[in-house]
Each structure stands twice: as structure tokens, then as C-alpha cells.
Structure 1
Amino acid sequence: MPADRFKVEVEGRSLELSNLDKVLFPQAGFTKGEVIDYYTRIAPVLLPHLRDRALTRIRFPNGVDGGSFFEKNAPAATPGWVRTENLPAPGSSKGRETIDYVVCDELPTLVWLANLAALELHTPQWKIGAHPDVMVVDLDPGAPAALKQCCQVALLMRDRLVADGVEAYPKTSGKKGMQLCCPIAGTQDADVVSGYARRIAQELEHEHPKLIVSKMAKNLRPGKVFIDWSQNNAAKTTVAPYSLRAQPVPAVSTPLTWDEVQAGAAGKRPATRPYTAAEVLRRVAKQGDLLAPLLDGGPELPAR
């Protein structure tokens, strides 16, 4: 076996790891070995959010400064022990009717994916064969608006959702924006969930027209926060909590407390820069999984 490859056992599964010294985040000198280490250590809180969900990966074989590609289909050399599910592929760019998706239910699969430089992990809002059990709205700032304004909109949206009995849990996107994740009953289809999210976004836009936009046209976004309600569409996925992001540093989509969002709305952290892998590991050691309530289900969304 070449010197840059070696076999490991992970929970009884045999894997071959390679090129662990390869730098995937050049600005930070963060290597593939460190990516694997991060995903191994964050697995206890990450895996519950991936379990039973079709996984889309964004792979960066030459690091974040090199090329990348989306991967939905299980690659040809997928080990036999990796769970795959053949599922319909709405919106497939290659015109496929179905795709053999990877499902990341266990640590060996997560380590295998990290070794493939699958830095970003994205999931739909529903488990396989089920209706959406999470509603997600993406808050995307149009410059000069930034994360500070996203936090302001997040607070407005939280209060509006609470009026309907819907709890929202915030996280950073790991890039310039953030998301609100809401546990729901899993009894309504994606069109209902997307329609509800759109209705709330339009209400808030009407009430705060200088801060919020609900339409997708990019020419409307400068200086405002776009509430992207379409994340609940059947063809959409959202970056998973605790996933790395392809940024100059190993940034992470990071769950937040509402106190932190309040501080961000006032211009303090988290409005300054993304949280990194090392910071997120420390946060989880102290706080646990702030998004654990998403795993417990929630209410049905109100009818119009």
C-alpha cells in the first residue's frame, strides 16, 4: 500500500484513508486529516441531523481554492456497507428519474465521506419516505446588509412564528447569512410548508419593507435581507448543522442561542465572522446540541 494510504477500523468497518496531509483550507493550513478529525469529533451531534435523510455532498478534492462538484449519486467505489436509497430526483440537472443517494447514518460513512473531501453536507427537510419534519427559512443579506441585519430579521421572524405556535432555532449558514429551523409535525407536504413560509415572508416584507424582501429577484436585494422560503421545495436542500463550508477558513454552519442572535442584531458577535471548526467543537462541549429540539417533532402549520 502506498505510504500516503493506510487502513483504519471505525466501529467495525474497514476504511482506507489517503493524503491526510493534503491542505484543503490553504489560508488556515487545515488538512484533510483535520477535516476527518473534525467530522469524527462532531459526529455525536451531527449524525442525528443526517440520519434517514438523502445526502447531497459538495466535494473539494483539491481544496476550497480548487474545483468542486455536487454529488448526489453514490460514487462507483461506494463500499457495500454504506447505506444507499434509490429515490426520485426532482429537479435533477442530468434528467435522472431516480438517484442512488448516500444516507449517512453512522460514523464509518461520515469518515468515508470526509476522506473523499466531501466538505459540505446538505440535506432535504424530510426523512426518506416521509413528509417534511423541519421547515427552514434562509436569511440571505444583500450588501451592504450583513449578518447583523439577518439577526434583526431572525428576531422578527421568531416572534411572528411563535404567534402560530411554531418554535424557531437559529444557526449561521457558515457563510454570510443564517437559517431558522423549525420542527413541524411531518404530516403536511412540501407545498404546504413552502406556502406557509412564503406567506410569513410576505407578511414581514409588508411590515418592514426597508429591511426585508421576499421575492427572489436579485435586483431587489441590495441593503435588504431576502427571506428564502423556497428552501422547503421538494428539489431543495439546506446545509446541515455542523457541516463545514468552503470558506478561506474551516467555517461551520453553527447553531446559535437567541441571546447570541440578540447580540448579533446589536452589531456584536456573531455578526463579525463565521465560527470555525475548533470553536464549534468547544461550543458543543459546553452547550451540547442547540438544535436537538428539531429531532423531537413539532406542530402542524396553521392553514391559511
Structure 2
Amino acid sequence: MSDTKTSVQVDGVRLTLSNLDKVMYPRHGFTKGEVIDYYARIAPVLLPHLKDRPATRLRYPDGVEGQTFFEKNAPSHTPDWVRTVCLPTPGGSRDAVNFVVVDDLPALVWCANLAALELHVPQWRVGPRGGAREPDLLVFDLDPGPPAMVEEAREVACLLRDLLETDGLRSFPKTSGKKGLHLYVPIKETSDQRTSAYAKEAARRLEKEHPRLVVSRMEKKLRSGKVFVDWSQNNRHKTTVAPYSLRAAEEPSVSTPVTWDEVNSGAELWFGPDEVRERVERHGDLLEPLLTLRQKLP
């Protein structure tokens, strides 16, 4: 395939897009041009969830069946109009990393053109001067261990929702885009030590109440037939796939906000890019409360 390039104007910024016909999802025929088109169209609801959050990009230069790599550091060819922020990375191969912050449509299209199929962000934002703030989100990753499947994840999601409600906390679900579910709890800015401790304790309470269905401990040997309530996503150095991000799977799937009625009813919880755009047209952003609601941890 020839290295074809196309020059486009995005919100006043000139970008050069390459290889738009390159297939990213071979079993589905979904091309890089379609990846960029999806991200450009979903940007109005995606960008608010990326704003001020340093992004880790999961790149697939040769599509989902090729090699991949997580990219934290901004590449040397990053345009000067892409916002970057230097943050310490304790325990990493570098003392600090220049993270990309995807605050606007040109930066989002630029990332998509680099085959950054997945966008992952932490539960905290950076301030105006670049320093890391305290977390404003709490997240639980509900991961069913075979032979458990999404049906068990639904049940655990509802149990966890009820447990959080007893502590006065509203939670909001989305699909992981693969086999699990994510539950978000918007909070007032709170230290990551406290958010992690609360999330761990909530997961342990749920495991104690439902030991045949729930596991809160990390050991993989304990997860068979149960749903692992992963509370560790609240560690300051962990990230979670962003709402509306594509996922690298056989078919192009999306980490999609859903309603509690959908979780409860047994409705289909797998969505492709076209379905997600249609859902947004009908419902708007189901995770909009994450941007405005600030709850106090008990």
C-alpha cells in the first residue's frame, strides 16, 4: 500500500493525515480513515472526559493484529500546538514524562492519525500550571473471570451500586468495550490514598457479602467463575480507558456509557462506533454527571 497523505484543516490547524485506507481491524475492514472519522464525530462528548487529564495512548501502527505499545511520552515530532505536561513517574524507566493532554479536536485527530486506537486517562486532572491535582473520580473495573461472563458483571455492578448508595454515593456505569463493566463515582477532590483505601474497602465489603460471586483480591487463581472488583485503578499511577474510546478487539468496539436500566434489563452491552454515535444523538452524554457532580466520600 502506498504511503498516501492528505492535508486537512481542523479548527484552524493544518494536519497531514496518512494512509487513511490502511485497515486497522482486519476482520471487519475498519480503516484508519474510519477511526479518525469516528473520533472527530464523537469529540463533543469525548473531549470533556479527556480535558486536563494526561493521556496514555495505546497505539497499533499495523492494526489490531499487529504489534502494539503504550505511549506515555510525547513523541519527538509532536506539534507545538499539542498541549504537553511534564509529570514525575516514580518507579518508571524515566523520572518524568512529557504527557500529551488531549484538550481539543486537532490533538484528538492527531492522536488518531498515529493509530492511537485507545485513549487511557487517570482519575485526576492537571492544574493550569501543569501540576497534578487530587482525584475527582473513583472507578471500579468489574472483570469477569471465565466461565463468568458479562451477565455476572451486570449482577455485581448492581450490587456495588447498591452498596455505594448506602454510603450516599451515586455511581454511573459504562462498558469496558470488552467483557467487563466500569463504575464511576464523581467525588470532591480527595487524596489518592483515601480514594484507593475507600475503593479497596468497598470491594472487600462486597466480597464478604457475596463470596461466591465477587473477589477483591489480585491473585488470578481466585478469579475463576467470579467477578474481580478491581479497585486498584484508583492508584495515582494507574489509568482507565476513557469513555467513548475505541478498544482494540477483533471488531471495533467502544467503551460506552450505559443506563442502569440497560444493566438491569439484560440489554445488549456491546456497541460499535456507529451505534455509539446514534446513542449520543438520542441520549446525549450519559456520563455528563462525572463533569459536574462532586460527592464527598464518607
Q: TM (normalized to structure 2)?
A: 0.96
SS at match of 1:33: helix
Distance in 2 of aligned mates of 1:278 and 1:27:
17
Which residues of structure 2 form unaligned runs of 5+? 127-131
Aligned residue in 2 for 1:217: 219
Q: Secondary structure at the match of 1:204?
A: helix
CA drift of 1:91 comes to 3.9
Aligned equivalent of 1:125: 123
Q: Residue 153 of structure 1 aligns with which residue?
A: 156
**Alpha-carbon separation, structure 1, partners of 2:11 and 2:192:** 36
Specify the SS of the correspondent of 2:119.
Answer: strand
What is aligned with 2:69? 69
CA distance in 1, matches of 2:248, 2:51: 23
- Deviation (angstroms), 1:259: 0.3
Equivalence map 1:227-266=2 (5 Å): 227-264=229-266
Q: Which amino acid counterpart does residue 98 of structure 1 have in structure 2?
A: A
Q: Percent identity?
A: 58
Equivalent position amino acid for 1:137 in 2: F
Q: How many residues align?
A: 292
Structure 2 residue 294 is matched with structure 1 residue 292: no
**Which whole-Å deviations, capped at 9, do the CAs of 1:145-164 have from their partners, x for residues lacking one?**
01110110000010111111
Distance in 2 between the 1:298 and 1:215 partners?
28
Does the 8 Å contact 1:42/1:281 carry over to 2?
Answer: yes
Match of 2:297 in 1: 301
Counterpart of 1:269 in structure 2 is 268
Structure 1 residue runs of 4+, over 2 Å off?
A: none
Q: How do 1:136-147 and structure 2 match up within 5 A? A: 136-147=139-150
The Cα of 1:51 is off from its aligned counterpart by 0.1
1:172-187 → structure 2 map (5 Å cutoff): 172-186=175-189
Contact 2:3–2:19 (Cα < 8 Å) also in 1 = no
- Which digits, 9 at most, give the CA deviation of each residue in 1:20-55, with x for residues without a partner? 000000111000000000000000000000000000
TM-score normalised by structure 1 residue count: 0.94
In the alignment, the residues of structure 1 paired with residue 150 and residue 20 of structure 2 have an alpha-carbon distance, to the nearest angstrom, of 34
Q: Retained in 2: the 8 A contact 1:58–1:68?
A: yes
Aligned-pair CA distance for 1:194: 0.7
* Number of the residue aligned with 1:97: 95
Residue of structure 2 equivalent to 1:192: 194
Give the C-alpha shift of residue 3 in structure 1: 7.0
Change (3 A) 1:151 1:3: closer
Query: Which consecutive residues of structure 1, in runs of 5 or more, have no partner in the other structure?
Result: none
Residue 97 of structure 1: how far off its partner (Å): 1.2
Aligned-partner Cα distance in 2 for 1:243–1:184: 22
Rounded Cα–Cα distance in structure 2 between residues aligned with 1:29 and 1:79: 30
With over 3 angstroms needed to count, the CA separation of the structure-2 counterparts of 1:160 and 1:3, relative to structure 1, is closer
Alpha-carbon distance in structure 2 between the residues aligned to 1:132 and 1:161: 18
The residue that corresponds to 1:226 in the other structure is 228
- Provide the C-alpha distance between the structure 1 equivalents of 2:173 and 2:276, rounded to a whole number of angstroms: 15
C-alpha distance in 2 between matches for 1:250 and 1:41: 15
Give the Cα–Cα distance (whole angstroms) in 2 for the partners of residues 202 and 100 of structure 1.
36
Structural mapping, 1:2-17, within 5 Å: 4-17=4-17
Query: Could you tell me whether the CA contact under 8 Å between 1:11 and 1:107 is conserved in 2?
Result: yes
For each residue in 1:112-142, what CA deviation from the matched residue of structure 2 results, as whole angstroms up to 9, or x when unmatched? 0000000000000000121100100000000
2:129 is matched with none
Q: Deviations over 1:200-225 (max 9, x none)?
A: 11011001000000000000000000
* Distance (whole Å) between structure 2 residues aligned to residue 155 and residue 161 of structure 1: 10
* SS of alignment partner, residue 271 of structure 2: coil
Whether the aligned pair in 1 keeps the contact of 2:57 and 2:71 (CA below 8 Å) is: yes
The CA deviation at 1:261 is: 0.4
